[in-house]
Every structure is written in structure tokens, then in C-alpha cells.
Amino acid sequence: GAVVSQHPSWVICKSGTSVKIECRSLDFQATTMFWYRQFPKQSLMLMATSNEGSKATYEQGVEKDKFLINHASLTLSTLTVTSAHPEDSSFYICSARLGLAENPYEQYFGPGTRLTVT
Amino acid sequence: AQTVTQSQPEMSVQEAETVTLSCTYDTSESDYYLFWYKQPPSRQMILVIRQEAYKQQNATENRFSVNFQKAAKSFSLKISDSQLGDAAMYFCAWAYNNNDMRFGAGTRLTVKP
């Protein structure tokens, strides 16, 4: 149980275009989802916290107009990188929190999306 | 500020031997959760073990166990009978209330056959 999927797993786009990444909780409802960015050989850096039906909360230094997050349902959150540039190339990981009383804070991670902007 | 520190960027262990990965954290909270995640080359984050701060007993999951020292704010991971499949990046993480999860910088574990 507690499976999170991401689509696509790998995407190449041209500079100036936008790309959307989907994150789905397959077998549970997630009131809270998270988006992380990971550079090679580095740790996960939280970009934003997404709650169903409300605006995402962005971490300091993350441009909300560039990284659009939509959490339209309890099983789907999307990250849209707008007007992508080569410096946006990275590995993007989403996670979802079950929020069970006996395990309230564990996050279940998607397999990640590798974005390359040319 | 809540921080998680992993002081060992790389560790190496011989197959079938035991290795311990270190993690310390800084928080003023008393009730929180600690996690160890494994990230193999596929980059899929996999939960290894979880510890609730209010529990004094150290968590154990098969070959994986932790040494949780709350007063010292230390949360080390011991891997017994290391296997080649244990080779990965290991991240220590801390979570409290409805806040996000804080990750350490990671330790790359190499298992030698």
C-alpha cells in the first residue's frame, strides 16, 4: 500500500517552454503532498507543500510564479515549470502524507521526474 | 531552527559485516518522529525505519536497527549482515507536527563483496 506515482519519469523540453509533472497517490487519499528538488549527489530540497483545495505554501527562495502547484484532488498534485530554463534542469520528487493517527508524519515518495531543459 | 546533520558523506562496509551511520538533529520539540530513508541508484526513496520520539525502545526492522539517544539528539542506523543491495544513499529525516520533513545531507554507503 501507500504507492505514489509520478509522470513523466523523464522529460526533455526546450528553453522557454512549460512542462507539467503529475504526482498521484494510487491507493490512498493524501491531504498533503510535497514537492522536492534534488541536485546530483545532494539531499532533497523542499520546494513547496501542497494541501488539497488550497494554495501551496512555497519555501523561501522558490518562485511561485515559475513553479505552479495545483492540488485539485486528494489523489493528484501537479507541478508546472513555466518558461523553463537550463538551470531548472533537475530531479523533481513528490511525496504524499497519509496522516494516520499512528503514523502522522511519514511521507511516501514518488519515483521522481528527471527534467532536462535544452 | 530545526537541522539534521549527517557527518559521514561516505561509508564503506564489507559484505556480511555491520556498519553504523550517524545522524544528529537539533530541535526544541519533545514529540517528533525520526526516519531513515534509503535512495538506491533508481533514486526511489524507500523508508528503512521509523522512530517515535516518545518511545524509549529503539526501533528494529530485520537487519536494520537504530540507536536513539533523545537527550543527545542522536539517531544512528545500524545495518547488520550488510548485503550488496544495501548500497545506496541514506538520508536521516526529522518531522514534527504538520511541518515538513527535514533531511540530512545523506551518507553514501558502499558495500564491498
CB contact under 8 A, A44 and B91: yes
Other CB atoms within a 10 A radius of the CB of residue B24 amount to 17
- What are the CA-CA distances from residue A17 to residues A58, A81, A118, B111 (Å)? 22, 8, 10, 42
Identify whether B40 is preceded by a cis peptide bond (ω within 30 of 0): no
Chain A residues touching B37 at Cβ < 8 A: 109
Any chain A CB within 8 A of the CB of B27?
Answer: no
The overall longest dimension of chain A from CA atoms, in Å, is 45
CB contact under 8 A, B42 and A111: yes
- What are the CA-CA distances from residue B36 to residues A8, B20, B46, B89 (Å)? 27, 12, 9, 10
Weakest-pLDDT range from A2-6, A105-109, B47-51, B88-92: A105-109
User: Which chain A residue shows the shortest CA-CA distance from B35?
Assistant: A106
Burial class (CB in 10 A: 0-12, 13-18, 19+), B21: buried
User: Which among A42, A107, A112 has CB closest to B101?
Assistant: A107
User: Which chain B residue shows the shortest CA-CA distance from A113?
Assistant: B43
pLDDT for position A105: 81
Split at pLDDT 50, 70, 90, the class of A28 is confident
Show pLDDT as tens, one digit a residue, over chain B (113 residues): 679 999 999 999 999 999 999 999 998 888 899 999 999 999 999 999 999 999 989 999 999 999 999 999 999 999 999 999 999 999 999 988 766 789 999 999 999 99
Weakest-pLDDT range from A36-50, A68-82, B91-105: B91-105
> Which whole number is the average pLDDT over A45-56?
89
pLDDT for position B80: 98
Instruction: Please tell me the distance from the alpha carbon of residue A21 to that of residue A93, in angstroms, as a whole number.
Output: 10
* Greater pLDDT, A1 or A118: A118
Distance (Å) from the alpha carbon of A62 to chain B's nearest alpha carbon: 15
pLDDT for position A104: 75
pLDDT for position B101: 86
Other CB atoms within a 10 A radius of the CB of residue B36 amount to 26
DSSP string covering B28-65: S-SS-EEEEEEE-TT---EEEEEEETT--SPPEETTEE
User: Which among B46, B96, B103 has CB closest to A43?
Assistant: B103
Indicate the residue type of A32. T
Instruction: Please tell me the distance from the alpha carbon of residue A40 to that of residue A13, in angstroms, as a whole number.
Output: 19
pLDDT for position B98: 65
User: To the nearest whole number, what is the mean pLDDT of chain A?
Assistant: 92
Pairing of strands A90-97, A32-38: antiparallel
| Cα angle, residue B39 at apex, residues A89 and B61 outer, rounded to 5° | 160
CB contact under 8 A, B100 and A46: yes
Residue A102 has pLDDT above 80, yes or no: no
Any chain A CB within 8 A of the CB of B16?
Answer: no
